[in-house]
Amino acid sequence: MSKKIVIAGAGIGGLCAALALAKNKFEVTVYERNPQLGEVGAGIQLSPNAMHVLQKLGIADEVKAKAFSPDAAVMRHYQTGKSYFTVPLGDNAAQKYGAPYLHVHRADLQMALYNACVNMKVTIHLGKAIQSYQQTQQNLTIQFDNNDSIVADLLIGADGIKSNIQACMLGKKSAEFTGQVAWRGVVEASKLPKGLIKPNANLWVGPGKHFVSYYLRGGDLINFIAVQERKSWQKESWNEPGDINELRETFSDWHPEVSQLLSATEQCFLWALFDRKPLELWSDRKVTLLGDACHPMLPFLAQGAAMAIEDSYALAYCLSRDANIENALQSYQNIRLPRTRNIQLNARKNAALYHMSSPMEQAKLALVSGLSRIGLSDRIAANKLDAIYAYNIVEQLSMGPALIGSES
C-alpha cells in the first residue's frame, strides 16, 4: 500500500489503529502531544470482544502475561455486601466467548502496543501535537501546534474527548460535565490483608456513589475507581492529584472491603467525567475519528478501551479492502456507529442505577435483590452483557461488513 496515514494520538486507540494498519502494509506515522508515554496509573478491563482483536494483532499473549483474570463480575450493596448479581468470568468467559476477560494496567497495554508498532516500523513522534487540518480535492494538509505542516493521504483523530481533529471537523464544542467525578488509584496488594479484596470485578453501589476494585499484574496490584456525584467542576484541569483524606471520608461508611482498601491507599487522582452526545458524522473526506474522539464512554460498562480497539480493527479492515478512502471511511462509520452509540447510551443509564438516583432506580435494585435469591438476576445480567462480550468483530468482518452494519 502506498497511502501515507497519519494518526493524532498515541493512546490505546491510536496505537492499536497504527498496529492494525501497519499489519495491512500501510505507511503509518503517529503524533502524540505528550512528551512521553505513560498515562496516569490506572487499570482497564479488556472484555472478550476487545481480546479477539488483540489476538488477531498478535499481542494477546503478551498482554495476558501482565494481566489478571477475574473469577466473576459481582455487584454488591455498599454497606451490607449483599450480592445483586454474579456473572462468572475466568475460564467461563474464555469458553463462552472464545477469548479471556482480563484486567490490565493501562501502561502495560500501551507499552505492548507501542513495542508492536515499533517492530512493524511505525514512526511515532512524541511531544508534537496536531492542531488542525485543511483539505482540497487534491491535498490533505495537517498543521501542528508549532506551525509546521505535512501532507498525507489520510488523517485519523484518535486524540481523545478533547480532540483537535473533531473540533476542526465539526466545530469546537465543549464536552458536558456529567455531574460526576472519579477518584482513581492503585495499591500494592501486599499492603492489605490477604483475601480482603475478592478476585473479581467488584462493583459496590450506593446513594450518589459507586466503587469498583480489581486486581492487576497477576494480583500484585489492586486498582480502584470511586465515582461520586458533584454539582460542578470548577478546576481548570480535568484531572489532578486527589486528596486521599477527602476520598476516605467520602466512603467512610461503606463496607470494610472498601474502607480498608482506601486506608491502605497513599495517593489518588481525581477526574471530572465529561461526556458528549453520540455523533452522527465521524468523517470528512480523508479525515476520520476513532475512540473517545467520536464516542467518549463513561466508565459504567468498562468499554471505553474496548470500543477504541474494535474501531481500530474495523478501520484497518475497511481501508485495506477499498482503495477509495472516502468509501472506506463511510463503510467504517456504518459498521461502528450503531454499536458504539448503543453502548455509549447504555453506559449513561448505568450511572443512575449504580447511584440509586431515583425511586425508580431504587425499585429496580430492590427487584434485582429479590431475583438474586433464586439466581434469576445472575442470568439477566449475563444476558445483558452477552450483547457486548459475545461480539467478535474479527469473525464478523470476515463474513463481510454488510452483515454487521446494523449490529448493536
Catalytic residues: 214
- Say if residue 384 is exposed, middle or buried (CB neighbours under 10 Å; 0-12, 13-18, 19+): middle
Partners of 239 in the beta sheet? 271
3-state class (DSSP) for residue 242: coil
Q: Which of 282, 313, 267 is nearest to 58 (CA)?
A: 313
Place of cell 492499536: 16
Determine the distance from the C-alpha atom of residue 368 to the mean position of all C-alpha atoms in its chain, rounded to a whole number. 27
Conformational region of residue 212, where left means phi above 0, alpha means psi within -120 to 50, and beta covers everything else: beta
Q: Rounded to whole angstroms, how far apart are CA atoms 377 and 321?
A: 43
Neighbours of 347 (CB within 10 A): 20
DSSP state of 189: G
All three cell numbers of 336: 461502528
| Continuous segment of H or E residues that includes residue 380 | helix 376-389
All three cell numbers of 81: 455486601
Q: 75: Cβ–Cβ under 8 A, 6 or more apart, which residues?
A: 83, 84, 85, 203, 204, 205, 381
Q: Which of 127, 126, 168, 150 is nearest to 284 (CA)?
A: 168
Neighbours of 200 (CB within 10 A): 21
Neighbours of 346 (CB within 10 A): 18
Determine the distance from the C-alpha atom of residue 55 to the mean position of all C-alpha atoms in its chain, rounded to a whole number. 18
